[in-house]
Structure 1
């Protein structure tokens, strides 16, 4: 059940370790967060091809110009850390789910905003794959500064760019 608007305005969500272990690792975002969005697209490429792009985080800036840099420590693995710049935000993240050709999920924090970002792949009949990206963001006033519709646009751009890159390969 959604929180009342005033309560949601100041909702900060669970601590990051709880968000990581009890939400992200369990296949869910924080649906009580003030900023929540999802986007999906069908990609005319194999799950392996989409997975290669999605899991090569160091190469994200090559297909998504909003991402300026990614530093991975040491590799894409559950609980491994990575730091990246997306737009004007520097984000500290940790992988929660690394399931090749099925799911890549991480948690992250930037200027006090705690997020869960899930990417799931579903094999479709005929060889294509459905890519779904969903995210929650929680911090006091985050919904005023960065509303769900802005996150929706960002996620749609993410899946569309991944689709066009995978299909061009």
Structure 2
């Protein structure tokens, strides 16, 4: 299954990055790859909570939080017939005031494999832009 990933070192604490990363309703303010996020179950990032996300050049998708490890990781998933998309966000302290952010996006399923190939360049560009935007937001 197609999988895309990137990592970036950020001059900020894991806690401050976590705050930015998990306040998903604020993403459109600092993340150019997201037009809007509509919380469907409250704006808290909690397992089972759903968020309707609109992105440039993509169809709107409803993402469901599937994993949360406070100050370290969250994962969410979106699906439609034949497609499962998984986005993972991991942060790890490297040294005081220095943190690594790792982002991964996977396409799964019969149709997901095809979509992953069709949207390969867009997905890779978006994930790299998201990492760079997170770094800029955290280092402000």
Query: Which TM-score band applies after superposition, normalised by the shorter structure?
Result: 0.7 to 0.9
**In proportion to residue count, which structure has more strand?**
2
Q: Any conservation in 2 of the 1:92–1:110 contact (CA below 8 Å)?
A: no
Runs of 4 or more consecutive aligned structure 1 residues displaced over 3 Å after TM superposition: 110-113
Q: Give the TM-score taking structure 1 as reference length.
A: 0.73
Take 2:82 and 2:32, find their aligned partners in 1: how far apart are those partners? 24
Structure whose alpha-carbon radius of gyration is higher: 1
Between the two proteins, the alignment pairs up a number of residues equal to: 134
Contact 2:86 2:105 in 1 (8 A): yes
Distance 1:144 1:122, change over 3 A: closer
**1:144/1:152 Cα in 2 relative to 1: closer, same or farther (>3 Å)?**
closer
- Counterpart CA distance in 1 for 2:126 and 2:97 is 27
Question: Is contact 1:90-1:110 (8 Å) kept?
Answer: no
Distance 1:82 1:48, change over 3 A: same
Deviations 1:33-67 (A, max 9, x none): 1x211000000001111011100010000001221
Partner of 2:87: 117
Once the 2 structures are TM-superposed, how far is the Cα of residue 110 of structure 1 from its aligned partner? Answer: 5.7
The TM-score with structure 2 as length reference comes to 0.87
Q: In 2, Cα distance between the equivalents of 1:65 and 1:111? A: 28
SS in 1 for 2:76: strand
Task: Give yes or no for the alignment of 1:96 onto 2:66.
Answer: yes
Unpaired stretches in structure 2, ≥5 consecutive residues: none
